[in-house]
Amino acid sequence: MPEFCAAYSCSNRRTVESKARGITFHKFPRKDMRKKWERALRRKDFTATNTTVLCSEHFKPEDFDRTGQIVRLRDGVIPSIFSFPVKPQKVSASKVTPRFPSPQPLGSAPPEEFLGVLRSASSRMDMMCGINRARLGPTGAIRAGPTRYR
């Protein structure tokens, strides 16, 4: 059964990969301590169950007892490391995988924006040629400047 971390904006779950990264999952304690954990999570209307877990990323290194075979939390520790929306940039940069717009189907016609760019590029070219023609046109000499005739 997959186990997901209950912390806000944390997507860790118990997988081979998370295990390789050294992430451990810890069930909520009972009674008063469970209330303290729930409050620490700051999730609205959140109630932990007997299967709710938090991953080890929300605890300080000194919160763990790593002396035994299994990494366990010391008695009385409260999760203290969370990414609340105060720093959304940091969270999205490290947690969110880049999402690309849905790919164009293969063999489809070039997208309309692309044709539009081509069209506007060629019309801009015409405009520039027109300007050049006006400058260098047959009347160019006369336009050299009115000062000459004073």
Examine residue 73 and tell whether it contacts Zn ion (CB under 5 A): no
Tell me how many residues contact Zn ion (CB under 5 A). 6
The total of other beta-carbon atoms located within 10 Å of residue 145's CB is 8
Q: Quick one: 82 or 142, whose CB is closer to Zn ion?
A: 82
Adjacent-strand bridge partners of 149: none
Q: Which residues pair with 54 in a beta bridge?
A: 26
Determine if 10 is a binding residue for Zn ion (CB under 5 A).
yes
Interface segment toward Zn ion; rule CB under 5 A; list 51-59, 60-68, 74-82, 113-121: 51-59
Q: Quick one: CA torsion of 34, 63, 83, 48, rounded to 10 degrees?
A: -20
Sequence-ordered alpha helix ranges (H) in the chain? 16-20, 31-41, 88-95, 112-136
| Closest distance to Zn ion from the beta carbon of 119 (Å) | 51
Q: Which is nearer to Zn ion, 8 or 35 (CB)?
A: 8
Q: Quick check: 5 binds Zn ion (CB under 5 A)?
A: yes
Nearest to Zn ion of 33, 82 (CB atom): 82
